[in-house]
């Protein structure tokens, strides 16, 4: 099939099928996009109930592992593609209940939706080629249906507009009260850092895919995603990788440390320099690096965990970030699902130590995080995996949209500065939604 640089235009042609998904790399290091629809199976989890096509399963991680084994191709893919078919979807933050049952919180909708895709499209931007791929077991009818859809002229999705006020669930006073409680916990030695988040919500009409298009063009995020499941639509513009496995190599890239962008180049450069020289931001970043070294160390070959980059500056359209990289070599008895489970949820959105931080989050945050701070991405039949950490992410469900913003709090954090920083991270979403109010 012909190569097209804009995968969104190709993705529009899949909207007539159930459960269309798009994993899109839009950053400076643009490499590969994956598009799929019409999965052979759908995995779901809501609270304690995990199912594969309505058949009960013990837990979501086991369900994914067994589904990958069940639908695995009989022959390897002849092309050396990063994705060769498998599970694509999201795992919500509240799946932490399956790792630490005391953290259970009821949620309004699915905590996991993962489609098993054996027909899919890979858009390789480096080699400028697009491939429609079907595994040997894929039904010819599904492959042909998707192939025919690519020849059609797609419909333009209806623009999304808010039909009511955008509600901020946390007032400045409520944020300060939670902030002060966290400071007490830090002072008493319970924790070193806690990630505190806020939730925004509004009613809407129109198609979430139209909003995805606008925001993806604004944000150009490295780990963008649109998941068009029937019960929920997920729009993610995350700059952060949670964990990747390719062969026996594991990579995590936590973000900690933020400054706003400024239209004045000199001011913008000064803000970036301030971030790179900030002892406070470096200390926060290092806490999470140490936490992830511990997480990866449990599933890596002894002595293989290394910090390949520390406090690297990454600049995005609305913020500067500090990013570190931790790499490791996977133990033979740890497949991608087990590695993801050991890294879940990501340390940069919990705090340290992880379990105590999650207990404090459970106590102080009045709202479930749902897809936010969980994982979005793929786990392939070939054992490879790549997932983002869903920050800068919206959830559309039953005519309501939600998104979240947060940041890590440490002993020397300032409540007003932290409150404003969390709003800055999602101002590209907020500003676009306010413009759309009808």
Long-range contacts (CB closer than 8 Å, 24 or more residues apart) made by 5-10: 5/125, 5/128, 7/33, 7/35, 7/123, 8/213, 8/216, 9/154, 10/35, 10/121, 10/123, 10/130, 10/150
Specify whether the CB–CB gap between 257 and 275 falls below 8 A.
Answer: yes
Indicate the DSSP class of residue 212. Answer: H
Nearest-angstrom CA–CA distance, 58 and 420? 42
Largest Cα separation within the chain, whole Å, is: 63
Going by C-beta distance under 8 Å and a sequence separation of 6 or more, which residues neighbour residue 152?
Answer: 13
Catalytic residue among 24, 94, 253, 256: 256
Per DSSP, helices labelled H in 137-242 are 140-149, 172-187, 208-219
Structure tokens at 150: 């690519």
Does the annotation mark 240 as catalytic? yes
| Angle (CA) 10 13 16, round 5° | 150
With residues binned 3-state (H G I as helix, E B as strand, rest as coil), the percentages for the chain, rounded to 5, are: 30, 30, 35
Indicate the DSSP class of residue 282. Answer: H
Indicate the DSSP class of residue 97. Answer: G
Structure tokens at 277: 């020289």
Q: How many helices (H) and strands (E) does the chain have?
A: 11, 24
Q: Is 31 helix (H, G, I), strand (E, B) or coil?
A: coil
Shortest CA distance to 246 belongs to which of 135, 129, 340, 329?
329
- Dihedral of the alpha carbons of 174, 179, 180, 184, in degrees to the nearest 10: 140
CB atoms within 10 A of CB 157: 16
Phi, psi of 355 (to 5 degrees): -60, -45
Indicate the DSSP class of residue 1. Answer: -
Catalytic residue among 240, 284, 365, 418: 240
Q: How far is CA 289 from CA 300, 310, 336, 344, 406, in A?
A: 15, 8, 20, 14, 18
Does the annotation mark 425 as catalytic? no
Q: Inter-axis angle of helices 279-297 and 336-343, to 10 degrees?
A: 140
Structure tokens at 33: 């996009």
Give catalytic residues, as residue numbers: 240, 256
């Amino acid at each position: 099939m012909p190569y097209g640089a804009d995968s969104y235009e190709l993705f529009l042609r899949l909207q007539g099928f159930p459960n269309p998904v798009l994993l899109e790399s839009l950053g400076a290091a643009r490499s590969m996009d994956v598009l799929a629809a019409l999965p052979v199976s759908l995995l779901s989890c809501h609270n304690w109930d995990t199912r594969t096509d309505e058949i009960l399963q013990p837990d979501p991680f086991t369900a994914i592992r067994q589904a990958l084994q069940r639908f695995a191709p009989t022959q390897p893919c002849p092309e050396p593609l990063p994705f060769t078919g498998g599970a694509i979807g999201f795992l919500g933050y509240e799946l932490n209940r399956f790792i630490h049952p005391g953290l259970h919180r009821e949620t309004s909708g699915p905590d996991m939706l993962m489609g098993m895709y054996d027909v899919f499209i890979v858009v390789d931007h480096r080699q400028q080629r697009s491939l429609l791929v079907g595994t040997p077991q894929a039904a010819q009818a599904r492959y042909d249906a998707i192939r025919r859809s690519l020849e059609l002229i797609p419909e333009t999705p209806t623009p999304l507009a808010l039909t009511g006020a955008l509600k901020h669930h946390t007032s400045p006073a409520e944020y300060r009260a939670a902030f002060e409680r966290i400071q007490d916990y830090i002072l008493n030695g319970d924790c070193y850092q806690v990630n505190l988040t806020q939730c925004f919500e509004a009613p809407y009409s129109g198609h979430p895919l139209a909003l995805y298009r606008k925001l993806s063009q604004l944000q150009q995020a490295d780990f963008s995603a649109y998941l068009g499941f029937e019960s929920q639509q997920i729009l993610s513009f995350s700059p952060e990788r949670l964990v990747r496995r390719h062969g026996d190599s594991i990579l995590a890239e936590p973000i900690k440390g933020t400054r706003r962008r400024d239209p004045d180049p000199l001011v913008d450069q000064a803000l970036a320099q301030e971030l790179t020289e900030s002892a406070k931001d470096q200390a926060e970043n290092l806490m999470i690096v140490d936490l992830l070294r511990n997480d990866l160390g449990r599933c890596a070959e002894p002595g293989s965990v290394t910090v390949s980059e520390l406090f690297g500056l990454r600049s995005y359209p609305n913020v500067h970030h500090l990013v570190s990289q931790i790499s490791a070599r996977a133990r033979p008895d740890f497949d991608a699902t087990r590695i993801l489970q050991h890294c879940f949820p990501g340390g940069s959105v919990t705090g340290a130590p992880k379990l105590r931080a999650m207990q404090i989050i459970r106590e102080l945050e009045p709202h479930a995080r749902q897809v936010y701070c969980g994982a979005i991405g793929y786990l392939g039949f070939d054992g490879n995996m790549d997932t983002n950490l869903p920050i800068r992410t919206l959830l559309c469900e039953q005519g309501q949209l939600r998104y979240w913003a947060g940041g890590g709090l440490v002993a020397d954090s300032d409540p007003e500065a932290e409150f404003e920083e969390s709003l800055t991270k999602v101002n590209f979403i907020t500003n676009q939604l306010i413009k759309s109010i009808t």
